Amino acid sequence: MQLISIPGTLVKQSNEVVRSAKIDMGSPTAANVLFGLIACINTDDPDFQPLYKVKYADFFPGHTDKVTYSRAVEVCQSLTSTRVDIETYDETKKNNKSGGRKYRGLPFFTEIIYDDGYVYASFNPKLRPHLLNLRKNFTMVEFQAMAKMESLYSKGMLQVIQSWAGLSEYTIPLVDLQDWLDVPDGYRRDFTRFRTRVLEQAKKELKRHAGIIFDFQPKKTGKKVTHIRFILTRKKAVETSSEAQKAKEARRKAINNARFQKALACSTKKDGDCTEKDNKPVICKICADFNFCESIKKTLKNDS
The per-residue pLDDT of the chain, averaged, comes to 83
Report which of residues 54 and 97 the model is more confident about.
54
Average pLDDT of the residues in 140-168: 88
CA angle (49, 55, 60) in 5-degree steps: 140
Could you give the percent of the chain with pLDDT greater than 70? 85
pLDDT higher than 70, residue 105: yes
pLDDT in tens, 215-250: 999 999 999 999 999 998 755 544 445 556 666 677
Residue 59 is predicted with a pLDDT of 82
Q: Provide the pLDDT confidence category of residue 259 given band limits of 50, 70 and 90.
A: confident
pLDDT in tens, 260-271: 778 778 888 888
Using an 8 Å Cβ cutoff, are 54 and 36 in contact?
A: yes
